[in-house]
Structure 1
Amino acid sequence: MRQGYEERPSRFDGAVVWTWTPSARPARTVLPDGCMDLIWTGGRIVVAGPDTRAFRVAPSDRGPSAAIRFAPGTAPALLGVPAHELRDDRVELAALWPGGLVRRLTERIDRAADPAAALERLALDRAAETAPPDPLTAAVADGLRRGRTVGQTAAQVGLGPRQLHRRSLAAFGYGPKTLARVLRLQRALALVRSGLPYAEAAAVAGCADQAHLAREMRDLAGTTLGAYFAPGEDAAAGANSDTPQPSGSRTTA
């Protein structure tokens, strides 16, 4: 069995299915990425809320895992809870859905030959029974990802700044300014991984300069660019790969 982190595009629109198999590396740190995850691990199903800072995975959750990571703004409708209620938190699915239902779903995934595929099926079935996400969320995330200002994004989707902020809290877990910072950092990290120097990646991603990128890295990721990309770090497990919705998960020493 391969160790470490692997991911693939999901049949759920915009989502990514990922698996984690423990290796010799001692821990994982998850960087903010604007997404929410539904995670099966150790016979439990947990919801990972949107992060505003690096999240250190607890020792009890470092066993084999399977998950589906939803594109920014798409999970709240599926889960039935506003994103801001789960911000910077990990919550048992049984706290959000009826306990009996969650037990049956968990047992089904426990027995599955492919827990990741079973979890993906759970999400697809649930989506067929619930209302779709706020139709403006994809446009908001796309505008901010492309480097538009909050004001430009509000105008693009036809909302005032206060309306945009309120809708963003429910959809993304935080306001559009924070989402823009998170998406910009993820884009910069992907550019560095593709081979661009720090300064060039910072400029292309929309940072004022390399120092600006370094500050964002410290504020949002709790580390430095040099430490994050240090030789010997398991970059494959640090998912932040070049996918439409990059993961924020990585292995650190």
Structure 2
Amino acid sequence: MSDELERAKANERRRVRRLRMIAALGGVGLAVAFCGVFLAQRSEEHAATVGAILALLGLCAVVASAVLGMHNGPDSDTIRVERAKEGYRDRVQKKRAVSMAIMPLTSLILVYLGTKSAWAIAGGQGDSGDWHMAALSPVVSGLLLSMVTGFDIRADRRLKRLLEDELTLSFRRSALNAALGVALAGMVVVFALGLWKPQAAVAAMPGLMFVTASAAGLRYWQLDRRAAGG
């Protein structure tokens, strides 16, 4: 039994190393994408072309990192190792809730750039870089909502067993209800903006999507903290 546990620990260490490299790939890809967006917004044709290529490569690296991360999630060795400790399920659920709270903070610059690009496009002054940025800005909101709904782990039975129970499902419903309320209020604001200045309404859409997804993630995190007595 101890030999099996040692093998499981070795496999788990290798999995963690792979995850760190995958996270590094995602970080580099995000940095490259930002650099590409800034270059694409320059007036020089050569710089704009290079920027668009870099932004596309960076986005591909981020997507690849996300896919590889899902394929290198907790496995049977992880569960075997962590079962030697107590509260593994609680720790996994807490880490996921914290990641939902942190993600909005790390994506503010992306939403700002998306809003700026949407303003330029709505004003008839957008270029290819603005279109790329406007298309990229909702991605973070979509990723966060997929985490809240559990869509990102739908094919991973091990993670579903760890992350989905009666309590977390109630968190999910409450978080989505909060997001719906924020979205409805936001649509009223965007409608009023559209009546005043249509360009402002278009520019506000990335922010509305971001605030809606953030409300869901933060509500889930708040409920998790409350359940943990934090």
TM-score by length of 2: 0.25
Instruction: Indicate the structure (1 or 2) with the bigger Cα radius of gyration.
Output: 2
Structure showing greater relative contact order (alpha-carbon pairs closer than 8 Å, 6 or more residues apart): 1
Bigger strand share: 1
Bigger helix share: 2
